[in-house]
Amino acid sequence: MPLQTGGILTDTAKEALIEFGDGYSVCDFCLGSVCDMTKPPVREFARELLPEFLGCEVATLTYGARDGIFMVMHSLTQPGDSIIVDENRHYTTIVAAERVGLNVTEAPHSGYPEFRIDVNDYMPLIEKHNPKLILLTYPDGNHGNLTDAVRLGEIAQENGIPYVLNGAYAVGRMPVKMNDLGADFIIGSGHKSMASAGPCGVLGMKKKWKEIVLRKSKVYSNKEIELLGCTLRGVPLITLMASFPHVKERINHWDKQVVKAQWFSSELQKLGFKQLGEIPHRHDLLHFETPTLYDISKHVRERGYFLYEELKDRGIWGPQPGMTKAFKVSTFAADKDQLGFVVDSFKAILSKYS
């Protein structure tokens, strides 16, 4: 699945996977609080390295981005409260809000073909709905649009509303710091973008939210209620930690990732494919409409399956069998030669059937 390439394990993570595979192996060394464990060095990772990386004061581990979103909503809101989110939000934002019992209003995108979010559209909605928090998906998983998160931080601060940045496709791929964006919370995904086994995520926050989101049990004073006493444990945590030095380094090359994505997009556009989302594009997640491929599918015996077969014959896996109208792709893990091969393959397929 080309969308998930940010979660491909590093070699170090693969070794750790074997070493810590057994059940609760991480917990063998735990004295009651996984984030305070020194061997393996979870404490240093969760208390120092991760907050620094996320640009926040306090960080914790989660099962994934959706679980971090739910934790924040469940801690800061009551059933019946309102929240504002962007229309490009991941479906789990809606489901997490339903689990809490919230009323969700969406700041609209600009529609086809760019689907841009104008964060100024949050302002009248804040006025009208008096939300308990606002959320921005940065970037969204459908089009890879990078909305003006800094401006939304200003709006949030002007209105005194907690601001959650869902960075599931940003944290671990590109430089992103919570403080620079004026957000209250930043959410990342280990399996999507931090070279970790799933399920695995991270949640960073301002210090002032610690007592609320990471509130402790009244009965067990070292256990955080919203984490059910333990955060993430076992294999995913270990792979997250093992991959972290590599992940921390790779975000420094983000400008090259953007150049690569833009080049790939321009090459596919020359073939009559239409890139959706922002142009010029600033993220490796890309969404293309492919009318030239769809036209072919109407005339060949295999219908839509011809594309899957043609790509498979060339060793390319990606679009779901039968689909020819559009596809999503990430250029993150592929180098320029590999992407060039994909471009050439599409060229060859188009000329074969033309």
Query: Which 72-101 positions form the footprint of its own copies (CB under 8 A)?
Result: 74, 91-92, 94-96, 98-99
Site string for its own copies, 123-162 (x = CB under 8 A): ----------------------------------------
Please, which residue, 40 or 153, has the CB nearer to its own copies? 40
DSSP lists the bridge partners of residue 327 as: 288
Contact present, 313 and 299 (Cβ < 8 Å): no
Please, which residue, 167 or 236, has the CB nearer to its own copies? 236
Which long-range contacts does 250-259 make (Cβ < 8 Å, 24+ apart)? 250/173, 251/172, 251/173, 251/174, 251/175, 252/175, 254/173, 254/174, 254/175, 257/173, 257/174, 257/284, 257/331, 257/332, 258/282, 258/283, 258/284
Please, which residue, 161 or 197, has the CB nearer to its own copies? 197
Residue 255 CA, chain-centre distance (Å), reads 18
Residue 325 binds to its own copies (criterion: CB under 8 A) = no
Distance (Å, rounded) from C-alpha 91 to C-alpha 117?
17
Residue 188 binds to its own copies (criterion: CB under 8 A) = no
With tokens 């491929």, the residue in question is 293
Contacts of 281 (CB under 8 A, 6+ apart): 144, 258, 261, 262, 265, 275
- Applying CB under 8 A, which part among 46-54, 230-238, 282-290, 302-310 lies near its own copies? 230-238
Q: Which of 50, 54, 58, 67 binds its own copies (CB under 8 A)?
A: 67
Residue 220 binds to its own copies (criterion: CB under 8 A) = yes
**What is the nearest approach in angstroms of its own copies to the Cβ of residue 180?**
26
**What is the nearest approach in angstroms of its own copies to the Cβ of residue 6?**
7
Q: Which of 83, 171, 232, 286 binds its own copies (CB under 8 A)?
A: 232
Q: Which of 63, 244, 273, 306 binds its own copies (CB under 8 A)?
A: 63
DSSP lists the bridge partners of residue 189 as: 201
- Applying CB under 8 A, which part among 20-28, 114-122, 145-153, 157-165 lies near its own copies? 20-28
User: What sign for the dihedral angle of Cα 337, 342, 348, 354?
Assistant: negative
Query: Which 248-277 positions form the footprint of its own copies (CB under 8 A)?
Result: none
DSSP lists the bridge partners of residue 274 as: 289
Q: Which of 39, 80, 111, 218 binds its own copies (CB under 8 A)?
A: 218
Distance (Å, rounded) from C-alpha 285 to C-alpha 338?
16
Q: What are phi and psi for residue 329, nearest 5 degrees?
A: -150, 150
- Applying CB under 8 A, which part among 4-12, 35-43, 248-256, 274-282 lies near its own copies? 4-12
- Applying CB under 8 A, which part among 37-45, 138-146, 176-184, 213-221 lies near its own copies? 213-221
Residue 245 binds to its own copies (criterion: CB under 8 A) = no
Instruction: Provide the angle, in degrees to the nearest 10, between the axes of the packed helices 336-353 and 305-313.
Output: 130
Q: Which of 143, 173, 191, 260 binds its own copies (CB under 8 A)?
A: 191
Contact present, 194 and 12 (Cβ < 8 Å): no
Whose CA is closest to 147, among 117, 169, 185, 113? 117
Please, which residue, 200 or 342, has the CB nearer to its own copies? 200
With tokens 């409260």, the residue in question is 81
Q: Which of 56, 83, 197, 329 binds its own copies (CB under 8 A)?
A: 197
Query: For 101-227, where are the alpha helices, taking DSSP H only?
Result: 122-129, 149-159, 178-181, 190-193, 210-213
Residues that bind its own copies (CB under 8 A): 1, 4, 6-9, 13-14, 17-18, 21-28, 31, 63, 66-67, 70, 74, 91-92, 94-96, 98-99, 190-192, 195-200, 217-220, 223, 225-226, 228-230, 232-236, 239, 320
